[in-house]
A and B are shown apart, each in its own frame.
Chain A
Amino acid sequence: MKNSLTIAGKELAGYFLQPVAYVVMTVFLLLGGFFFFALLRYFEVTLTAYAAMQNPEVLQKLNLNERVIEPMLHNLAIVLVILVPAITMRSFAEEKRTGTYELLLTAPIRTGEIVAGKFIAAAAFMLIMIGLAGMFPLILLAFGNPEIGVMFAGYLGLAFLAISFVSIGLFTSSLTQNQIIAAISCFGLLLLLFVISWPAQAGGSSFSDLLRYLSLPDHFAQMVTGIIDTRDIVYFLSLIFVALFLTQRSVESARWR
């Protein structure tokens, strides 16, 4: 564990020594701010319109969480599909390209510790980024009356989503020494997990149920509405463990290939 934390510290510091991390964080927060502003403005316009129509029934149904936080989190999830590969692509591919990969593998540490270290660093970076995006609900709390529990569940879902993305990004990075290939294959896999349930709408078979279960947005959407289900937590943890396990196998294979 100590070795993992040492690697994680070095990796995390490495992120902030390069411009990519700052660019990724800035783009994420700028887009988040834009979504938040646009949705809040639209909410305000809708509220004013119904107030002018003197329609108390509809006014009562207008919900800050449903109208602002939920769509914003869904949009941020899409943004993460594009940004996470940019963060994870260098994890192993860069080491392979610069030749430090052999040094890392011959060091007196286990492969699992190397993978864990890199994972902790990338996950911590994501959590910092999502933590900074936590200012949006804080603004709502200061000026409005949103549901804290629903916002907490939504941000927890976003954190699980980001960490799952990170583990998949590490796996694709471990397969190649080309960062572009690592990023594009990660993007492809994440996109596939987003659209995997599309064919399920064509039928009601058990196979469709399986596709729906594998679909990332279905699990995420449930958390965003304010439901924390053990089934969704198990799904996200499984996805993380499978990707990390395959990463470990991929790195390990360099020792005997």
Chain B
Amino acid sequence: MRRSAALYGILGLVLLSFGLVDYFISAGFRLFVWVNLAGGLFSIVLWITSSRSELSSITTGRSARYGANAAVYSIAFIGLLVAINYISSLHHTRLDLTTEKVYSLSSQSINVVKGLQKPLKLYGFFQGGENPSARELYETFAYYSPKLTYELVDPDKHPELAERFKVSTMGTTHLQYGGADSGEGTNVTDLTEESLTNAIIRATRSTKKVISFLDGHGEADPDDAEGTDGYGTIRKDLEGEGYEVRKLELARALAAEPRLLIADEVMAGLAENEIDEVLKTLFTLNDQGVTVVMIEHIMHAIMRFSRRLICMETGRIIADGAPQDVRRNPEVRRVYFGK
């Protein structure tokens, strides 16, 4: 066989490999794939035509018989090993030899993961679609249940996934429960076992928790994502974490059965007897187990209603505690009454 003929054969195989690898990676036929495949096939044809006589002697006779036998035997052996590897990748056992078992989950997390009824897929959104720490953590979770799978996504390459799962921050993990089209999902930005376990609990619970924003008295609008006073960004984040956000008038909040009610200045401009009525309604909701977050300037209403009071001045928390303690706080007194 001439040296040039062998070179054609090698070149053909190399070009074909490049073409096939790029086809699988880029998942499609682009120009680079076409050029490599065409060049590879052309080189292989050149090799066959320029070494026809040698090939015909190889394909007949004793060598051909033994060669074919060896090839079949080799393919069968490698096929068997591929099958063993595939099975072992599905059913594997691991031993964590670190003293503090840093690559194992706590018993609570294991119970949560093992209790999955439907498939749960974790989508990790990271720069370049790779993050070793996230892969390690997902792998640890996936180890405990075949129902849990994961995928690392580059949001720049798959903006449609980021949009669909309401992911706005790099490093977010989206948990999709019950299949890609189920619509049940939640987002988490913390890469810790605890936060991921909590997110799984949120994603897998049967009923969605409702957060109601009160409406009708000029409160900040949860639909407004553009303006500086709107709660649109908060709404997007809450929905990303699996909550259902509803805009309700106070009277309808009773019927909606929310778990959390955000009452943002609902008493502004109301008469004293109306304030009493609103407080009565909020006390009723609270007695039913609804957590009420009240954002208010009317001090006597706050003091009557609150169990925990957070006082802010120009976006900074200056006091946090029981209402009586906050009232006595010198910083709070300075802000409200001046020096």
Mark A residues whose CB is within 8 Å of B. Answer: 147, 149-150, 152-153, 199-205, 207-208, 213, 225-231, 234-235, 238, 241-242, 245-246, 249, 252-253, 256-257
- Judge whether A204 and B85 touch: CB under 8 Å: no
Q: A225-B103, A228-B97, A256-B62 are in contact. Are A208 and B25 (CB under 8 A)?
A: yes
- Judge whether B89 and A253 touch: CB under 8 Å: no
- Judge whether B152 and A204 touch: CB under 8 Å: yes
Interface SS of chain A: helix
Q: Which residues of B contact A200 (CB under 8 A)?
A: 25
- Judge whether A199 and B21 touch: CB under 8 Å: yes
Among listed B73-81, B198-206, B234-242, B323-331, interface-contacting one: B73-81
Q: Which residues of A contact B73 (CB under 8 A)?
A: 249
- Judge whether B97 and A150 touch: CB under 8 Å: yes
Could you list 6 further interchain pairs (A-B, Cβ under 8 angstroms) beyond the known A147-B99, A213-B85, A252-B70? A153-B97, A204-B129, A229-B95, A231-B88, A256-B66, A257-B63
5 A-B pairs with C-beta separation under 8 A? A213-B89, A234-B85, A238-B84, A245-B74, A256-B62
A207 is contacted by which of B24, B89, B103 (Cβ under 8 Å)? B24
- Judge whether B94 and A227 touch: CB under 8 Å: yes
A229 is contacted by which of B24, B25, B93, B128 (Cβ under 8 Å)? B93
Q: A230-B92, A231-B92, A241-B81 are in contact. Are A201 and B128 (CB under 8 A)?
A: yes
State in angstroms the CA–CA spacing of A225 and B78 once bound together.
Answer: 30
Which residues of chain B from 133 to 172 have a CB within 8 Å of any chain A CB?
151-154, 157
A251–chain B nearest beta-carbon distance, Å: 11
Q: A199-B21, A201-B128, A256-B63 are in contact. Are A242 and B78 (CB under 8 A)?
A: yes
Q: Which residues of B contact A249 (CB under 8 A)?
A: 70, 73-74
B238–chain A nearest beta-carbon distance, Å: 28
Q: Which residues of A contact B56 (CB under 8 A)?
A: none
State in angstroms the CA–CA spacing of A205 and B96 once bound together.
Answer: 29
Q: Which residues of A contact B157 (CB under 8 A)?
A: 203
- Judge whether B129 and A147 touch: CB under 8 Å: no
Asked if B130 is at the interface of the complex by the 8 Å CB criterion, the answer is yes
Asked if B98 is at the interface of the complex by the 8 Å CB criterion, the answer is yes
- Judge whether B103 and A230 touch: CB under 8 Å: no
Q: Which residues of A contact B95 (CB under 8 A)?
A: 227-229
Q: A227-B94, A245-B74, A253-B70 are in contact. Are A203 and B26 (CB under 8 A)?
A: yes
Which residues of chain B from 283 to 323 have a CB within 8 Å of any chain A CB?
none
Nearest B residue to A233 via CB reads B88
A232–chain B nearest beta-carbon distance, Å: 9
State in angstroms the CA–CA spacing of A249 and B75 once bound together.
Answer: 12
B300–chain A nearest beta-carbon distance, Å: 44
State in angstroms the CA–CA spacing of A253 and B74 once bound together.
Answer: 12
Query: Hey, what's the 0/1 contact readout for B166-207 against A, CB within 8 Å counting as 1?
Result: 000000000000000000000000000000000000000000
- Judge whether B85 and A238 touch: CB under 8 Å: yes
State in angstroms the CA–CA spacing of A205 and B152 once bound together.
Answer: 10
Asked if B27 is at the interface of the complex by the 8 Å CB criterion, the answer is yes
State in angstroms the CA–CA spacing of A235 and B85 once bound together.
Answer: 7
State in angstroms the CA–CA spacing of A252 and B63 once bound together.
Answer: 12
Query: Hey, what's the 0/1 contact readout for B113-130 against A, CB within 8 Å counting as 1?
Result: 000000000000000111
Q: Which residues of A contact B67 (CB under 8 A)?
A: 253
Nearest A residue to B123 via CB reads A204
- Judge whether B25 and A199 touch: CB under 8 Å: yes
State in angstroms the CA–CA spacing of A241 and B21 once bound together.
Answer: 25
